[in-house]
A and B are shown apart, each in its own frame.
Chain A
Amino acid sequence: MNTPATAVDRQFATETLEGAVIRFCGDSGDGMQLTGGEFTTTSAVFGNDVSTFPDFPAEIRAPAGTLPGVSGFQVNFASTDIFTPGDKVDVLVAMNPAGLKTNVADLKGGGILIVNEDAFNNNNLKKAGYTSNPLEDGSLDEYKLYKIPISRLCDESLAETGMGSKAIGRAKNMYTLGIVYWLFDRSLEPTIQHLTNLFAKRKNQPEMAEMNIKALKAGYYMGETAEMFQNRYVVPKAKLAPGQYRQISGNEATALGLIAGARLAKTDLTYAGYPITPASDILHFLSAYKNYHVKTLQMEDEIAAICATIGAAYTGDIAVTASSGPGIALKGEGIGLAVMTELPVVIVNVQRGGPSTGLPTKTEQADLLQAVYGRNGECPVIVIAAKGPGDCFDAAVEAVRLAVKYMTPVMLLTDGYIANGAEPWLLPHVADLEPIAVKYATEFNAHADDHDGEGNNVYWPYLRNENLARPWAIPGTANLEHRIGGLEKAENTGNVSYDPANHQRMINLRQQKVEKSAQDIPPTEIFGADSGDVLIIGWGGTYGAIHAATERLLAREHKVGTIHLRHINPLPPDLGAIIKRFKTIVVPELNKGQLIRLIREHYLVDAKGINKVQGKPFLVAELVAEVESLLPRK
């Protein structure tokens, strides 16, 4: 396609925006995730702060054109710090009527609405439940509606490629992306590079790369030449902390953090998993990094996965499994074995909507009590949570560190929202990461009474150090042969014991050990007021929304402070004192109130919950409104 000469002559009014929220939506086969991901990368590489929210159906390909088959990808990009993908969208791109119908309510009044006009035929309108064509009946008058025959224009621009009509039809997402790139004055280069890598290099389909790049450019030129848009928009670079950045999703950051943890411990990583949404990507990422001494086992089920990690931990590896709620439920007995055998196992729960199969592709925070309490017997584990995609890296390193130091299972909670969402990640330097000390036992550590002579002459697997951790002697170490298992252990010797007093002591010791790990929790950071009217206590993936809401509340001069907990079991030692400095404690969670129970139980405080269980993250506006309703009237 040649660029018409007129293109360079045309003038457009350019409006500078602080930020914008775009949502791409269409059929799950329309490639909306790729489209949104590309826009995000391009914006991030340009220098915007970005935050994303991919939202896709659980079905791989729900019937085309139907409401359940709609897949969406929302990206917020700005010249300022942002913490969420945005409550409402400024630009909605709808590839079909079903996409329009399920998403238009989130478009701001006066917002830009770009639709693929060709998809609005009778059949698709009917499937989406429209009785009249919304493009014609005036129902979209409050928006800036751009009806573009995307399918036809894309077909025409690719007709000369000689590719089949099916392949050409699937390139219309790139055509659409080209239009949006033009509208926001973005460079095509990052996407061209990615398409070349994806199709030409990795899949060895150079013709597919060429066709998609052609579609992308055609869409861009369409924006320029068609006299359709009056304005272009510019979102300048953000002033982020200096350093090197890349885009990262929570699952990828978790995988990198686990590798980092194992490398810092100078130990191999054994990861055993079973495919489950939304945790599978951790397995995918790790399986590609074998040259980091990573062994990945796709086991036959969730139970096998936790049990294989126990075997690997006994044998001296950093052992990890990841799953989501239903899988964690299956692992419960195995986690109990890891508690009893006091082995360093990391369990990642990428939470999703429950109960049962629930909402596999949607986010929720309803597994917190499962993490803390959800096993038979008195069965404490350390529980920590990641607050955002990049933070998953630090949280995973922390999980490995705590597991090894205290010889205990550690549960790391992330969720579907931060696992799939991406944000710019300020890249850490390995030299700045604290090494993790792993010292396997190699010598006798006790003196048995029935032996003659001086000095140690036996190995007791349950003799504890100052942190109450037991020693880690691994198979292959001469003379330290020992047996462990799920039956109650005698203190110190680790032999099977049914002694009542011993059982009480061991129950207490396991609990004290987990509590002892609180000594490693750094002083709690408070954002906003140090004391005052409201203390908001959050945890996990709601960080962005809570932080943004707090900023707004502070801007309105409310005396509000926010804490976002990394450590949930045990809780930070200074939390009780902080709570006392505020009149009202508010705990927003994407569940029916779980952290709030722990807060009430530990601090006997009448905390108020803000609870939402819709499979969706908090909107900033709803948090602000809820908190304001709890504030004293001015």
Chain B
Amino acid sequence: MVEVENLGFGYRGGFRLAIPQLSLADGEKLAIVGPSGSGKTTLLNLVAGILVPDSGRIIVAGTEVTGMSDALRRRFRASRIGFVFQDFALLDYLSARQNILYPYRITPALVLDAAARDRAEALAEACGIGDKLDRHPAALSQGEQQRVAICRALVTRPRLVLSDEATGNLDPDSKARILDLLFRQAEEAGAAVLAVTHDHELLPRFERVLDFAQYRQETPA
């Protein structure tokens, strides 16, 4: 699903990320751990095509992301990659239903049709928020908000789900439930999961864990 080869990326005046090789199989669930500032989120942004590496190649679902133009990367991201954020990143002025369907509102790469709406409702039902689709985020608990965010990440049927501390803001009981929910839905959608986490209690649930500290290089002053 994901192939990273000789990846090099550096922040001006900051650290440099160097990954000789990294791969993620179809449907695999890989956890990335490491100290803060080790470049975990940077990797997610590179894989998603939000950042462009200085060197190396990134291939996602058979397509080389690093060779694409900005416009193509955006289209590719919208149609092939789902994002789950630590702060949920829901829009306060949209209902849960509208938040789930938000990706369809912001890119012409996706068509908002009846099938998409049905899929949104089915995902919401599966995530236990089927009766709260018309509520705004302010009227939902944090766990419910993260379920909405998971539905939004999966409604476009992505091949890869990128999770950036998705359970970081949840209470201990909710963390495991939300992660299991994410895995179950990703499995049903046939998507791989690349997740950044600080929570070591959750690591046994992943198929593979990658410690990221080894990839960080300090830039000489």
Tell whether A pairs with B. Answer: no
